[in-house]
Amino acid sequence: MLTHCFIGQQLPDGKIRGVYCNSGGNLLIVGDMLARYYGDPNVVSQLLDLGNLSILGPGPNNGTSALHRDLGQEFVPPHLYHSLDAITFLHHGILFVQLQGGTWLFNNEEDWLDLPPPPPIFFSEV
């Protein structure tokens, strides 16, 4: 089942720049990827430069499928919103926004919350 989400980044002027991602849009997939691999605002900016996404991977050029670059669809540039309130009014589903300084928030259609840290990865002996 495809679960879409919005991935955005707060700009220095407070506006939010973001894209649509059409699968994995929950805390266990996109939330985990963002918390684990997208702490650097420059990497998030590179991700958003791709436009709308199909799948989020551990890097903009590592496992991420962009609708334009990888699937040949028309390029849809990142959208610009004036505030977090504007995003919640216009989008349904889970929303992820990186604030200035690298902190991630998510909105579960009720409230903006801090994105929890990713769970540790345990490797078992073979």
Over 80: is that where the pLDDT of 126 sits?
no
Exposed e or buried b for every residue in 33-69, given b needs 16+ CB within 10 A?
bbbebbeebeebeebbebbbbbbbeeebeeebbbbbb
Q: What is the pLDDT of residues 98-113, one digit of tens each?
A: 998 889 999 877 788 8
Mean pLDDT of 83-109: 84
In this prediction, residue 120 carries a pLDDT of: 84
For residues 84 and 71, give the distance between their C-alpha atoms in angstroms, rounded to a whole number. 30
In this prediction, residue 24 carries a pLDDT of: 86
pTM: 0.90
Please name every residue paired with 62 in a beta bridge, in sequence order, or none if there are none: 59
In this prediction, residue 46 carries a pLDDT of: 98
Q: What is the average pLDDT score of the chain?
A: 90
Q: What is the pLDDT of residues 30-61, one digit of tens each?
A: 999 999 999 999 999 999 999 999 999 999 99
For residues 104 and 38, give the distance between their C-alpha atoms in angstroms, rounded to a whole number. 9
Over 90: is that where the pLDDT of 21 sits?
yes
